């Protein structure tokens, strides 16, 4: 699974080069970390015995997951900004980029600013509490509301794949004979 997942990440880098060469370099590293975090989540399954990983190892897993979220948010925010400036995608893709950015914002704000995201100030906690689940690490952000890192990763990857597909469709439209 992980090899096909990393291949999916790498297949999207082309579209990022159109926005900013440095973005694809960072996304490639985030993809590698995503792969590593998926492996770590198997080691830190809360249903498994504690001997599988030390506390220090779990703290590293938690810290790298936290940093992955912050880094991914900044890339998505930058993608949104560049796409607005360059006007290269149709509105439906821009809406998806914004939706993904907003989804990340909900967890990024309590992680980085220790306050709820403005849109959720009446329902979410000011601090995102780490929560290890059978699906991997997540953060409790409100009553009965947990955002999993793997779900963030899936949304980011799906967004990049949608952008890549859209770009290929736009290229075919532009180069098709009239």
Q: Give the DSSP H or E segment for 176.
A: none
pTM score, two decimals? 0.88
Domain that holds residue 70: 2-175
In this prediction, residue 55 carries a pLDDT of 66
> In terms of C-beta density within 10 A (0-12 exposed, 13-18 middle, 19 or more buried), how is residue 171 classed?
exposed
User: 73: helix, coil or strand?
Assistant: helix
The tally of domains found in the chain comes to: 1
Contact between residue 168 and residue 160 where contact means Cβ atoms under 8 Å apart: no
CB burial of 99-122 (b: ≥16 within 10 Å; e: otherwise) equals: ebbebbbbbbbbbeeeebbeebee
In this prediction, residue 1 carries a pLDDT of 44
End-to-end Cα, the chain, rounded Å: 42
User: 159: helix, coil or strand?
Assistant: helix
User: 137: helix, coil or strand?
Assistant: strand
> Is the four-CA dihedral 79, 82, 88, 94 of positive or negative sign?
positive
pLDDT beneath 50: ranges in the chain: 1, 174
> In terms of C-beta density within 10 A (0-12 exposed, 13-18 middle, 19 or more buried), how is residue 133 classed?
middle
Q: How many CB atoms lie under 10 A from the CB of residue 31?
A: 22
């Amino acid at each position: 699974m992980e090899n096909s997942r990393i291949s999916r990440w790498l297949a999207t880098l082309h579209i990022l080069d159109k926005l900013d060469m440095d973005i694809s370099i960072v996304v490639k590293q985030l993809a590698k970390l995503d792969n590593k975090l998926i492996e770590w989540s198997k080691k830190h399954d809360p249903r498994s015995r504690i001997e599988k990983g030390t506390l220090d190892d779990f703290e590293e897993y938690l810290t790298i997951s936290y940093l992955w979220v912050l880094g991914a948010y900044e890339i998505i925010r930058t993608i949104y900004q560049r796409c607005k400036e360059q006007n290269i995608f149709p509105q439906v893709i821009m809406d998806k980029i914004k939706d993904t950015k907003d989804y990340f914002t909900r967890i990024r704000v309590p992680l980085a600013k220790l306050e709820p995201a403005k849109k959720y100030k009446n329902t979410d906690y000011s601090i995102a509490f780490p929560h290890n689940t059978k699906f991997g690490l997540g953060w409790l952000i409100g009553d009965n509301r947990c955002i999993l890192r793997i779900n963030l990763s899936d949304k980011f990857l799906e967004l990049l794949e949608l952008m890549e597909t859209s770009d290929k469709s736009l290229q075919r439209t532009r180069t098709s004979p009239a």
